[in-house]
Amino acid sequence: MPRHITKTSFEKGHVPWNTGNHVIKTCLICKKQFKVPFCRENTAKYCSKSCAHIGLQKPEQRKRIKEMRQKGCTLSEISSVIGLAPGSISHYTNKLKLRWGTGSSPATISKQVKQKFGTKCMICGFDRVTEAAHRVPAKDGGSMELENFYVLCPNHHSLYDRNLLTEEEEKFLLSAVSNLN
């Protein structure tokens, strides 16, 4: 055997990482005992996916986020109180909006925005690929109402989100919106 080739799983005497010694652990949810490979001794907590799903839920935290959002708190205010990153809270509040907010999925909202405002970018008129862009971002308390959206091409959406539109483009966008109303 050449020097640069090491033992493989095809050779006699090779032991894969997940065989050999096992450890008996107790599930944190159902208290059932289960067997895990020695290498997962420190990470295994649940006996099944259903127990893991239950164990990873934080209902009191979700309830608190929901109450604060309903009171009108911004994501930064919620993140300072709860101790999570604003992005995590934004992701979670978007899930909540799907459940108790508008009842619409992002794909449904995008279709509704394009039906109301058309399928062309409100700045350049590009119509091959367009996106529904928030006027006021969700992280700043923006709603999922149709009036809080623009239809923009991916390039202008990215520029808009980063406040990099030129004055001319901003004026054109505002005039396009005022013409719709």
Residue 132, burial from CB neighbour count under 10 angstroms (0-12, 13-18, 19+): buried
CB-based contact 153:129 (threshold 8 Å): yes
Report helix, strand or coil for 19.
coil
Please give the structure tokens belonging to residue 73. Answer: 């708190």
Instruction: Give the model confidence (pLDDT) of 9-21 as tens digits.
Output: 455 555 555 556 7
Residue-level pLDDT at 100? 45
Q: How far apart are CA 76 and CA 4, in angstroms?
A: 54
Q: Of the given ranges (25-34, 38-47, 53-62), which has the lowest mean pLDDT?
A: 53-62
Q: What confidence score (pLDDT) does residue 18 get?
A: 53
pLDDT score of 1? 46
Token pair recorded at residue 147? 């009036």
Q: Which residue has the higher pLDDT, 70 or 57?
A: 70
CB 143 within 8 A of CB 113: no
Cβ neighbours for 1, distance < 8 A, ≥ 6 positions apart: none
Distance CA 111, CA 101 (A): 17
pLDDT score at 165: 92
Write out the two tokens for 56. 């990873």
* pLDDT value at residue 11: 55
DSSP state of 131: E
- Residue 150, φ and ψ in degrees, nearest 5: -115, 160
